[in-house]
Structure 1
């Protein structure tokens, strides 16, 4: 122990325990305080019974010896914060060359595990901006998973832990799947297994139990968790395709069968699937439903679901039924029954359907907006925004229209309650720009003749009166 500290203990001015703590807080060492954070010990002033700490937020801060011994936690030179303060250039170089080593150092400094928030707190600000941090963390995770020394949870709130021995990614994924208690967690684990299927050295023995578990879970959850069952079946099919050695234990449980059995609930189920998996289910409709898939697909498109409105038309086109799609759309426009999401999609894709871009489209849009204006769950505001912001839409709609059709639409615009006066004027102005002769519909009358007041002098007036009387 330092001689001066021993004297303070002998004199009773400092306890032996406090002296031992201060022995680890010599000038040049590093410490942590609960409120003030990281600091470097600048100097001792034992005559004044003080120790001076350079905290990040409180430089050159004096503390009484006893209080310092009680409230400061010494940290070793290899602690990440100490290394960052003493050798910042070396840390910056290590961040680029070996991200996993930096994370290892941080975890070791924090007792072997830390949350993502704790890790980012040590790096953002003096080493990274927020954007740089996100980019770096993406590459760091890949390096961490490749080494096998890190347990990286799927939830950001759970801590990342350092392992004493490396674990292969395959073993880690199998553990993740086997420990999953909820079907949704199993689905997430299977997605990762599919992604890294090539890392399984003995796929038949390692993954065949996964196939069996997937099929068992899917069969048990078809009615209760239908969307999950679809996801599991798609995952099983992907795994069977990628690993030919695997065999299905339930060949009767197919995607086509699920679609047929859940046909009436497909719209609700698809809304709960990721977009890519939803697309695969839609592509299977013709195989699953036969000729009736066309009617069912249109019903799904009319459900006013944004994704379905965009994806179902592709199924029509890919299967050679664009004429049926156009027929459905023509009727919906004519009857003003088209929902806002279909109209939104059609406006955006109008280059592919020029024959449908007529004044009927605009009246159908107005009908949809009026129908949805009191519906809080409606998405028609997106359609309204498109109508106002797409400066070419009105001119495209009236490209082949005569003035009579334009006049009918003008009347409709003037009467609709879905726009305020200023918005109406903006839309009507676009129509009048194409048909100037319709301006009178807005003014409401022909221009009046100009009248001028005649101003004369009294003498001139008297003279004219006299001439008139003669």
Structure 2
């Protein structure tokens, strides 16, 4: 106890426990604050109840003694965090000369464990220069494993654990496995054993007993957690493969046993969540599990095992000269537009090597089909990586259109221009690549031939407002309501036999198509009140008087693109009758269809006058 504090305790002014805690805040002692980090007490003023502490993150911090009592905790002078304050250079030297000893010291100061992320936060930029930390840690990690003084995890977010000095490394590894509370913990423990298999060189008996005990856990897990059971057995096999002294018991459960008894759809789903190395081990068990049917079974899960899975399956089939089966499957799926995004990405990336035999026009159509369907879906996007590939791979579109004939390349370019997934700038960038490879597709953008460039629509202000109101209702009311209906219908269960869901999805396609039509039409529209129309011939905004063969007069008004009211004898200039009349002058005879009887009749133009709204 500090002498000044001891006097206060002896005088009965403060209790002994308070005096002991107060002494921990005496000048020269070290403490830890949750926000400011470690600090050294510089001075205190007991009469005014204040203390000044040089914290690592806040030097010269003056605090009320009561506040310091509550917010700090004492640490010994040999604590790593205390040494960082006054002995940083010594720690830096230790990090180079004895990195294992320094990490052990750090772990001891943190209760025996801390994550790699926390370790980096403690050392990088202070004890070790930030730019050299990664290289230092890679070297130190290897040295830690070799020392067997610390359990080094496979993932940064998991904890480094200091091993007890009175327990052998082998016993510690076995104890870690036995202390595991679930399958994930057992898998992590097996990974640590495989990484430190040298600890069992002297005596592998405890490890043999442990591996035999895995069978029961794997069989139980397979019924409800197939993916974890597969990982557990694969991790066991990795341990056996890393040791010359271990052999798999003939009666032990094998990966092929789990694969054979699993439902194909569930198997593909669970495999897709595993690391690449584990996936490959499982796929390599297919021949043992399925015999002569192994290739067929593997091809069936190709589309459903995720990005890592499709790569591993292709490698295995190529290694065993069985690629023809995969190629046949891909051709069929591409023709049916049934290939998933991960498989399509693989085909595109391997188009000059493994997938060269199936890379053709169907790939382009499948990509656009998948993007459009995903865009209309109400669920999470599944094609983001596919769209990114299309943008980032500068030669993909070039390679696609170069193997298409003229009509195929034009149709593909036209579909891309109409695809709602891409923005205007994105379309321009993608089309520039296509045009460079196939110049004949430039007409789709310039409008010089093929599909003519869309001309402006002359419309009345009233009809334009009606279109805008319809589009507004579509965007604010009908489409949101349809999205809700889809969500509700989805909750009813099995989508394959869900009539409500199918109906709602069909309506979604209709609504999205109508929305696109309205947006295009409104974008082309030019509103007018038809004042000042030229009446020297029949034009938009004129009233024409015609005479039929019996001498009876008929009066028609030619107005805008969306102004068609047959009962009032008002026709659109784009209608069949309107097109027959526009440009004609008095005295001309025209053949038009009667708007009531639909019969063709010959009419003679008598006079033309401007429309006055």
On whether the aligned pair clears a TM of 0.5, the verdict is yes
Q: Does 1:411 align with 2:414?
A: yes
1:428 partner SS: helix
2:301 partner SS: helix
- Please name the residue that 1:308 is paired with: 309
1:225-259 per-position Cα deviation (integer Å, ceiling 9, x unaligned): 22222223333434444445545555263322222
Asked whether the equivalents of residues 107 and 113 of structure 1 are also in contact (C-alpha less than 8 Å), the reply is: yes
1:320 partner SS: coil
* CA distance in structure 1 between the partners assigned to 2:69 and 2:327 by the alignment: 81
- Please name the residue that 2:345 is paired with: 344
Which residue of 351, 360, 363 maps to 2:362?
A: 360
Gaps of 5+ in 1: 449-470
- Please name the residue that 1:370 is paired with: 372
Per-residue deviation, 1:79: 4.0
Residues 1:177 and 1:69: Cα distance change in structure 2 (over 3 Å): closer
* CA distance in structure 2 between the partners assigned to 1:428 and 1:63 by the alignment: 67
Residues 1:150 and 1:259: Cα distance change in structure 2 (over 3 Å): closer
Gaps of 5+ in 2: 454-613
Asked whether the equivalents of residues 149 and 166 of structure 1 are also in contact (C-alpha less than 8 Å), the reply is: no
Which deviates further from its counterpart, 365-374 or 96-105?
96-105
Q: Does 1:194 align with 2:194?
A: yes
* CA distance in structure 2 between the partners assigned to 1:188 and 1:305 by the alignment: 23
Q: Does 1:99 align with 2:72?
A: no
Asked whether the equivalents of residues 350 and 356 of structure 2 are also in contact (C-alpha less than 8 Å), the reply is: no
* CA distance in structure 2 between the partners assigned to 1:7 and 1:421 by the alignment: 80
Per-residue deviation, 1:400: 3.7
2:407 partner SS: helix
Q: Report 1:388-403 matches (<5 A).
A: 388-403=391-406
* CA distance in structure 2 between the partners assigned to 1:395 and 1:118 by the alignment: 48
2:31 partner SS: strand
1:223 partner SS: helix
Q: Does 1:441 align with 2:444?
A: yes
* CA distance in structure 1 between the partners assigned to 2:250 and 2:102 by the alignment: 47
TM-score, normalised to structure 1, is: 0.77
Per-residue deviation, 1:386: 1.4
Asked whether the equivalents of residues 49 and 65 of structure 1 are also in contact (C-alpha less than 8 Å), the reply is: yes
Residues 1:48 and 1:11: Cα distance change in structure 2 (over 3 Å): farther
1:435-460 per-position Cα deviation (integer Å, ceiling 9, x unaligned): 33443333445699xxxxxxxxxxxx
Q: Does 1:283 align with 2:284?
A: yes
Per-residue deviation, 1:15: 6.2
Which deviates further from its counterpart, 289-298 or 232-241?
232-241
Which deviates further from its counterpart, 154-163 or 388-397?
154-163
- Please name the residue that 1:205 is paired with: 205
- Please name the residue that 1:331 is paired with: 332
Structure with the higher fraction of residues in strand conformation: 2
1:32 partner SS: strand
Which deviates further from its counterpart, 344-353 or 220-229?
220-229
Residues 1:121 and 1:240: Cα distance change in structure 2 (over 3 Å): closer
* CA distance in structure 2 between the partners assigned to 1:282 and 1:124 by the alignment: 41
Residues 1:351 and 1:14: Cα distance change in structure 2 (over 3 Å): same
Q: Report 1:453-464 matches (<5 A).
A: none
Which deviates further from its counterpart, 31-40 or 344-353?
31-40
1:254-302 per-position Cα deviation (integer Å, ceiling 9, x unaligned): 3222222115232022123222111111122233223333332222122
Q: Does 1:30 align with 2:29?
A: yes
* CA distance in structure 2 between the partners assigned to 1:257 and 1:74 by the alignment: 57
Q: Does 1:269 align with 2:270?
A: yes
* CA distance in structure 2 between the partners assigned to 1:153 and 1:400 by the alignment: 49
TM-score, normalised to structure 2, is: 0.61
* CA distance in structure 1 between the partners assigned to 2:122 and 2:431 by the alignment: 58
* CA distance in structure 1 between the partners assigned to 2:328 and 2:5 by the alignment: 97
RMSD (Å) for aligned C-alpha atoms: 4.2
